[in-house]
Amino acid sequence: MSPIPTPPDGWRERADRAVARGRRWDRLIPPFLLDSPISRAGAWYGTAVGWIWGSIWSTGRIKRHGELWVFQGMPPRTFRRGGVCVGRCFLTGDDTPTERVLRHEAVHARQWRRYGILMPFLYLFAGTDPLRNRFEIEAGLEDGNYVPRG
């Protein structure tokens, strides 16, 4: 893995604002869609999609880690950066994920359970910059290897 870059000055304040903005957006989502049977059904759907994608592309063993299913040996074109969490499936490459990364991905699995099928849309809406993406911030930027541990 390449060295973790030093984030720009003021990143933590911008990250805090992104999380606060995301929580304000959450208030606009009808409560019956959050942490509900509907959101859990969406998370199960995401997990099914993750299982199918992982089963097609994974060349490693499928391992269970807590509530996560870890699919290793995925070709780089089948996921972004160090891996992707789809439902309760973590799809990643050849490197064995660290406990910190798995902890980060477990938060994403809980986010899927909270938001269900809304998760991919909300994640895209949050943007591609992990220092401003409330889902990455809430999962832990240090654990996700987005910023150095400090």
Query: In which region does residue 117 sit, left (phi positive, over 0), alpha (psi from -120 to 50) or beta (all else)?
Result: alpha
For residue 1, pLDDT beyond 70: no
Over residues 18-34, the mean pLDDT reads 97
pLDDT digits (tens, 9 = 90+) for 69-128: 999 999 999 998 899 999 999 999 998 999 999 999 999 999 999 999 999 999 999 999
Over residues 16-35, the mean pLDDT reads 97
Token pair 């995301």 is found at 22
How is the beta sheet containing 68-71 ordered, strand by strand?
62-65, 68-71, 89-92, 83-86
What per-residue confidence (pLDDT) applies to 22? 97
Spatial contact of 106 and 68, defined as CB atoms under 8 Å apart: yes
What per-residue confidence (pLDDT) applies to 2? 57
pLDDT digits (tens, 9 = 90+) for 30-73: 999 999 999 999 999 999 999 999 999 999 889 999 999 999 99
Distance CA 108, CA 61 (A): 21
Token pair 């893995």 is found at 1
The pTM assigned to this predicted structure is: 0.94
What per-residue confidence (pLDDT) applies to 146? 95
CA quadruple 108, 111, 112, 118: dihedral, nearest 10:
-120
Query: Closest by alpha carbon to 84, among 31, 9, 135?
Result: 135
Output the six-digit token pair for 97.
């994920």
Distance CA 148, CA 64 (A): 27
Spatial contact of 30 and 50, defined as CB atoms under 8 Å apart: no
Residue type, 95: D
Query: Closest by alpha carbon to 46, among 113, 104, 107?
Result: 113
